[in-house]
Amino acid sequence: MEPFADFAPPPHVTDDDLSVVVRRAQRGDTVAMSSLLARLTPLAARVCGPIADADGPDATQETLIAVFRNLRSLKDPSACQGWVRAIAVREAVRLAKRAARTVPVDPGERLDRIPSRRDIEQAADVSDVLARLSPEHRAVIVLRDVEGLDESEAAELLELPVGTVKSRLHRARDNFRKAWGV
């Protein structure tokens, strides 16, 4: 399996299509719920994988369970993807903290270049470097650099001040660069 498989974008689903499925699932339609969970799984996996590292599949599963249990509380079906992203971040950080798998970064290391997704060997190195970061740092990097959210959106999801997200992102990127070197 390619190391960046969890980073692949989800299949194109318009907000309108997803909103219809959400409403049907909220009314108890089990086929719609199954379809909804299938559509949301790639998003949850893309967020949980790099944050929770080896516990990514468990974090993804916990995210989907939370979606299943709490879907009726979602007031705006068009906000479903953002809601799921927030749940995924919380679950991934929770499991990553519990695993306590942070590895200290060697300050003598540096970042030379970021590999392409086709460079499997270096892609595995990126996964290894991400695993060395704290869960909080992985979360801000994933939200900002993988999901493409801006600092204020990431701050809202993480329930942190924007300044805290900016400083964590700066430290996370710096630690990533240091850990990347040969």
Q: Say whether both 136 and 124 belong to one domain.
A: yes
User: Where in the sequence is the domain holding 87, given as residue range(s)?
Assistant: 9-101
Per the structure, how many domains does the chain have?
2
Residue 150 one-letter amino acid:
D
Mean pLDDT within 114-120: 48
Domain assignment of residue 2, yes or no: no
- pLDDT tens, residue by residue, 47-76: 999 898 889 999 999 999 999 999 999 999
- pLDDT tens, residue by residue, 88-111: 999 999 998 887 544 444 444 433
- pLDDT tens, residue by residue, 24-53: 999 999 999 999 999 999 999 999 998 988
Q: Say whether both 66 and 117 belong to one domain.
A: no
Q: Say whether both 82 and 121 belong to one domain.
A: no
pTM of the model: 0.68
Virtual CA dihedral for 138, 60, 101, 166, nearest 10 degrees? 20
